[in-house]
Structure 1
Amino acid sequence: MPPRIPRQSVNEPGSNRADIDARLGQELATVVSGARRRSVRDGDRQIDTAHLLHSLLEYDPEVRAVFDDGPQLARLLGYLVQRSIGYGLRWQGSVEDSGAVPVVTEAEGFSPLAAGAMEYAGERAAHRGGDRANGTDLLAALVVDPQARAVEVLTRAGIDAGAVLGRIEARVESTS
C-alpha cells in the first residue's frame, strides 16, 4: 500500500527549490518552508496558494496587519485550520490552476497558481524597487486570481480579496 502522504521529490522537473527560496529571501523562505511542511502533512502533492496564505499569516506580522480586525483574522485562521483537518480534502489529488494567469514554468512542489504567485511577488518587489519580495508582495500575488484557493478561503471567511489588495496598495502608497 502506498504511503498516505505523497512525497515531494527533489528530482521532479521544474525550477529548483533553492532558486525560488533565494529569490524570496530569508523572510519568505521561512513562509515557503512552512507551506511545504503543511502541504506534506495535509497529504497534498503541491504547495498551493492556501498553504502559502496560512504560512504568511503564521509567520509575518505585516501580513496579519493587513486584515481589519481580530474577529476577521480569527475567522480566516479558523477556515485555514479546518482546511488542515478535512475542509481541503476535496482539493487533494487535484492541481490548483485556474488558467486565468499566464502559464509559468512549473516550479517544483508548487501548484501552477502558487508558482505564478511567487513570480508575481518578485515582479511586485522589483516594481517597488526592492531586491526581494516581502510578505505583502506575496499576499497581493495570492489574491489577484479569483480562482486561487487562497481567495476561496478568504471568501468563505467573509473577506473580500479585492479589499485586501486595496489595503495592501494603500499601505505601499503610504510608505512611498
Structure 2
Amino acid sequence: MQSRTPRQSAGEQGGRRPDGTDAGARFGAELASVVSGARRRAVRDGDRQIDTAHLLHSLLEYDPEARALLGEGPQLARLLGYLVQRSIGYGLRWQGTVEDSGALPHVTGVAGFSPLASAVMADACARAARRGADRAGGVDLLAALVADPRTRAVEVLGRAAVEPCAVLARAENHFEAAP
C-alpha cells in the first residue's frame, strides 16, 4: 500500500527548503502556518502537491485579515463550503492531476507545490518586496492567488460567486490605505 504522504526531498527534511531558504525566512509566521495547513490538506485530500485551492483554504482558516478582504455573509460561507467539499466530491476530478497553466513545460518548481502554487508563492514574496516588506503576509498571498485566472483558487472563487478582480483590488488597496 502506498503512503498518502507527499515525499520530501532530502533538502525539505528537517524543515529546510531545497533552494536553501527556509519558510520562515521568506514568509511571516502566519504564512508558515498557512503553508503547513495547506500541506496537511493536500495529504488528507490524497493529492501529491499543494495547489492554490489548498493555499486559499488554509489562508482563510489562519488569516482573519485576508479572510476579511473576501467579504462576509453568504459568499464567504459558500466559498468555505466549496473548499470543505473538495475531498468529498467537488475537486475530486483534480486528484492525481497537477495544477499547471500549460503555458510552460511541466516543471515542479518548489518541491511539494504545484507549478502554479509555486509561482503564486513567489509572487506573494515579490509583492511584499515591492512594498518594502521583508516577508510576505496573508494579504500578499491572497493577492497572488487571485491575480492569475488559471489557478484552482480562482475557479473555486468563481463557483462561490466571489469576483477575483474585486478581491485583488481590495488586497492591493489594503496596503495603500494602511498608514
Q: Same fold (TM over 0.5)?
A: yes
State the Cα deviation string for residues 25-47 of structure 1 (Å, max 9, x = none): 21100000000000000000000
Contact 1:101 1:116 in 2 (8 A): no
Equivalent residue, structure 2, for 1:72: 75
* Unaligned ranges ≥5, structure 2: none
Aligned counterpart in structure 2 of residue 21 of structure 1, from 11, 14, 23: 23
Contact 2:48 2:112 in 1 (8 A): yes
Q: 1:49 to 1:40 in 2, by over 3 A?
A: same
Aligned partner of 2:126: which letter? E
Following TM superposition, by how much is the alpha carbon of 1:85 offset from its aligned partner in structure 2, in angstroms?
2.1
Aligned counterpart in structure 2 of residue 139 of structure 1, from 142, 164, 173: 142
Equivalent residue, structure 2, for 1:84: 87
Following TM superposition, by how much is the alpha carbon of 1:105 offset from its aligned partner in structure 2, in angstroms?
6.5
Distance 1:148 1:34 in 2: 19
Q: TM-score, normalised by structure 1?
A: 0.90
State the Cα deviation string for residues 133-159 of structure 1 (Å, max 9, x = none): 000100111111111000000000001
Equivalent residue, structure 2, for 1:2: 2
Q: TM-score, normalised by structure 2?
A: 0.89
Percent identity for Structure 1 against Structure 2? 64
Distance 1:137 1:86 in 2: 30
Contact 2:99 2:114 in 1 (8 A): yes
Residues 31-110 of structure 1: pairs in structure 2 closer than 5 A: 31-99=34-102, 106-110=109-113
Distance 1:83 1:126 in 2: 33
Considering only aligned residues, what root-mean-square deviation do their CA atoms show, in Å? 2.3
Aligned counterpart in structure 1 of residue 154 of structure 2, from 151, 154, 157: 151
Aligned partner of 1:10: which letter? Q
Aligned partner of 1:91: which letter? W
Aligned counterpart in structure 2 of residue 161 of structure 1, from 159, 164, 169: 164
Following TM superposition, by how much is the alpha carbon of 1:104 offset from its aligned partner in structure 2, in angstroms?
7.5
